[in-house]
Amino acid sequence: MAYAYLFKYIIIGDTGVGKSCLLLQFTDKRFQPVHDLTIGVEFGARMITIDGKQIKLQIWDTAGQESFRSITRSYYRGAAGALLVYDITRRDTFNHLTTWLEDARQHSNSNMVIMLIGNKSDLESRREVKKEEGEAFAREHGLIFMETSAKTASNVEEAFINTAKEIYEKIQEGVFDINNEANGIKIGPQHPTTNSTLPGSQGGQQAGGGCC
């Protein structure tokens, strides 16, 4: 399957906030959420289309590896996007965001796009963190924000795709060095020859980025 770009994401956040469920919900529509089944996955890939281009998203859950400093470090560095997830029904998961964010900022490359996600928005009755609080946190730290529900699939698609759009824009602006795979972005194996404007425009972008 040919793609123009491959973006690598990581999902971070406290345990039990529903990271792997979000991931499965996004990467595999066939698993339909039902009330008596909680199901997730630690890795997934999916093709999306942005601006007429096929973009493959590869998402790695980092759960269970936090105890090794070398591992978290490397994961952050290899990703172009990060979904930082908390659980709107558990205040503590929201309180830990700062720590997560510090870690992410310290280890990732400065261009990494971070999206803040308040998950489990279906559990309105048990809500402990107001939507406004999430918005304020995101504004303060320059993140994109969204409330999602892996159970109802609400906003899940948007969360992943908006992050991809942001990355894509950064590529267009020449912020990301796409030839450097360490950034979590890979150019597709067969570059679409039909789209002749792409390589040219990229070259222009890069030149533009280089001189400032």
Residues that bind another protein (CB under 8 A): 8, 20, 24, 28-32, 34, 36-45, 58, 60, 64-65, 68-71, 73-75, 77-78, 177, 180-182
Collapsing DSSP states into helix, strand and coil, what is residue 156?
helix
Q: In the Cβ-directed half-sphere of 174, how many Cα atoms lie within 13 Å?
A: 14
| CB nearer another protein, residue 39 or residue 144 | 39
Q: What is the CA radius of gyration of the chain?
A: 17
Short-list 60, 53, 78, CA closest to 171: 53
| Number of other residues whose CB lies within 10 A of the CB of residue 1 | 9
Q: How far is the CB of 71 from another protein (least distance, A)?
A: 5
Alpha helices in the chain (DSSP H): 19-27, 69-77, 91-95, 97-107, 131-141, 156-172, 197-211
| CB nearer another protein, residue 74 or residue 162 | 74
82, 83, 84, 89 alpha-carbon torsion, rounded to 10°: -170
| CB nearer another protein, residue 58 or residue 163 | 58
| Number of other residues whose CB lies within 10 A of the CB of residue 61 | 23
| CB nearer another protein, residue 46 or residue 127 | 46
Cβ neighbourhood burial of 187 (10 Å; 0-12, 13-18, 19+): middle
| CB nearer another protein, residue 144 or residue 153 | 153
Q: How far is the CB of 84 from another protein (least distance, A)?
A: 19
Q: How far is the CB of 134 from another protein (least distance, A)?
A: 25
Asked whether the beta carbons of 11 and 22 are under 8 A apart, the reply is yes
Q: How far is the CB of 4 from another protein (least distance, A)?
A: 15
Q: How far is the CB of 111 from another protein (least distance, A)?
A: 12
Q: How far is the CB of 175 from another protein (least distance, A)?
A: 13
Residue carrying structure tokens 């790695």: 60
Residue 190 tokens read as: 């067969």
| CB nearer another protein, residue 94 or residue 176 | 176
